[in-house]
Amino acid sequence: MVDKEWMFVLGAQDPEMREIERMLRRAERPFVQAARHGERVLARTAYDADGVVRMSRGGRAMPAVLLPRQPVVYVECSVQGHPPALRVDHHHPGDPGYEKAPEAYLQGSSLGQVLQLLEMEPDETQRLLAAADHCLTAAYQGACPGVDPNELLFQRAAWQAKMSGRSLGDVIDGIFHAAKLVHRYYDSEFGEALFLDPTAVPPDLAEGAAYAGKPVRYRQLMPTGELKEMLKGADLPHIERFMEAHRAAGRRVYGNPYRGYAGAYC
């Protein structure tokens, strides 16, 4: 339990962070969003924030400040010049959830960590969100206690349909189709399904691979023009080999071998 005057500073928006915001409102705890150049951070800028904002219900960023001596809990972010009293995260070595296994997904996920700080018990929806965020492939394979893979599929597909404007049926069909492709192209010698042409990657590939329970390596062309290569759903040694190979080539690498994912900018 953290004191009620502690300020929570939240990183980039995603389904898990939305639920964290909802829980903080319910617990009547103060929070703001990490910002860079006056705008809420994205995933790629969350640890380079230079200030904070308060987001309106309509999604507008309003100016906010952190008091110099105010204890701060950073949730998947950092703000320059303001050290945290506590960190909630699972992305980097040393984070509380970094090395947590799938069966400990509540202690591993940021949502689970916040619920623990607020002394709240997770409901079914929160368990689904926490498991999906911390270890999606393992959750689909039934490795997370209290998480139904079928309910997980419905929740994930419903969210994707809402965000993309596609129908729920179209998204689910896309996930099933991608899962079939992953099985078809899975190479047992290398232990992964390869989709290295970024122009031919199925839209639901990552979700389909997680549903299929198979590691997938694929490439994506970013809006900045950079080419990103990703490996998801693999075991720890496989992820470590992938990361080391890209580091040796001088590329910018991110990932967490304990959570089964990594990426590199080629």
Q: What is the pLDDT of residues 173-226, one digit of tens each?
A: 999 999 999 999 999 999 999 999 999 999 999 999 999 999 999 999 988 888
Provide the whole-model pTM.
0.90
93 has pLDDT over 90 = yes
Alpha-carbon distances, residue 49 vs 10, 77, 96, 157 (angstroms) = 11, 7, 21, 31
Q: Indicate the helix (H) or strand (E) that contains 164.
A: helix 149-164
Domains along the chain with CATH numbers: 7-140 (no CATH), 164-265 (3.10.310)
Q: How would residue 266 be classed by pLDDT, with cut points 50, 70 and 90? A: confident
Query: What is residue 69's predicted lDDT score, i.e. its pLDDT?
Result: 86
d(CA 18, CA 58): 14
Q: Does pLDDT of 170 surpass 90?
A: yes
Cβ-contact 227, 241 below 8 angstroms = no
Cα 177 from Cα 215, distance rounded (Å): 16
Burial class of residue 127, CB neighbours in 10 A (0-12, 13-18, 19+): buried
Cα dihedral 164, 169, 171, 173 in deg (nearest 10): -160
What pLDDT score was predicted for residue 140? 97
Q: Which amino acid type is present at position 235?
A: D
pLDDT at 31: 97
Q: Give me the pLDDT at residue 36, please.
A: 96
Give the tens place of pLDDT for each residue, 2-51: 778 899 999 999 989 999 999 999 999 999 999 999 999 999 899 999 99
**Are residues 175 and 160 in contact, defined by beta-carbon separation less than 8 angstroms?**
no
What is the distance between the alpha carbons of residues 251 and 18, in angstroms, rounded to a whole number?
Answer: 32
d(CA 219, CA 197): 6
Mean pLDDT computed over every residue of the chain? 94
So what's the pLDDT on residue 201?
A: 94
Q: Is the pLDDT of residue 1 over 80?
A: no
Average pLDDT score over residue span 71-79: 96
pLDDT (tens digit per residue) in 217-252? 999 998 888 899 999 999 999 999 999 999 999 999
